[in-house]
Amino acid sequence: MQEAISTLPPLDVAALTAALAPKLRDLRVATIVGAQLAPLIDGCLPAGTTYRNYLPADEPSRLRSFVARYLVELVQPTDERSGSDFLFRIIHAVQDEGAIGRGDGRLWKSFVALKPSRHLVYDSQTAEIGFLESLGEASEAIKTISPVTFAEHADICRKFYEQLVKDGDEQPLLQALLADFHPQTYPMWLRALRTSRPPLDKDWGGFRQAEILGLFEERLGALDVQSERAKQLVLRKRPANPGLPRPVIRRRRVSSGVAGARRCGWPCAWAVA
């Protein structure tokens, strides 16, 4: 429902566009969430008004409606989300090599791929994470988040096997694969997990995801990201799962880790992204 205002100043779209464009450009991001975009727009409108005041009374007072009606030259609504909030694509940033991209799937690949094609970064000005195609145009506020190394990937596999052993579940094939573990071993590792009886691939998916998110949080801490903000960024990428953050392997119990990861665009196998 639109906010009532006694005398509504006319909306000067040209002035709004001119005032908003540099604010969006200064963010140096390719996309922005609605919660960040709305106050930027309101700050460029006549004092005492918000974007809701300029939508027809019979139209839902949604930011997406305002953007589609008045700001198509600057911002484009998308169906992508960051958490529960919709993302808006900043038009000028599409051609900007220094613009930070969003999108959970690409962020995940930038972190877990052995040879990522994009750079995962933290913007200390906006306290957000994203990716860059190139670091050549990055400002001093942009901090690179190092991707997971092969040694770390292998260590996660070893930890999983050690947990199995503690649970009394000896897996000779997994032990043999770990004895000579290299990047080309991983497909065989996954196959062994899927074909074990009962299958272990879903347990592995939840375990691996929790370990990698733990590494991600450590990386943020190393960049002096405040602890509470780091946890927010990690939780935003965690599937909606009320379970423990570091799941214990339980045989014959289907874990939602893998399915949840796929739903939110976080694949479980490493790949060259």
Q: What is the pLDDT of residues 113-139, one digit of tens each?
A: 888 878 888 888 777 888 787 777 667
Residue 53 CB contacts under 8 Å (≥ 6 apart), including other chains: 2, 3, 5, 8, 45
How far, in Å, CA of 52 to CA of 214, rounded? 41
Q: What is the pTM of this model?
A: 0.54
pLDDT value of position 6: 57
Tell me the pLDDT tens digit for each residue of 150-181: 999 999 999 999 999 998 888 899 999 999 99
Q: Residue 36: is it exposed, middle or buried by C-beta count within 10 angstroms (0-12/13-18/19+)? A: middle
pLDDT at residue 138 in the model: 67
State both tokens at 63: 């930011």
pLDDT band per the 50, 70, 90 thresholds, residue 263: very low
Contact criterion met (CB below 8 Å) for 138 and 120: no
Contact, 153 vs 116, CB < 8 A? Answer: no
Domain boundaries along the sequence of the chain: 1-96, 150-263
CB-based contact 62:46 (threshold 8 Å)? no
Question: CA dist 225 to 102, 109, 147, 207, 218, Å?
Answer: 19, 21, 17, 25, 10
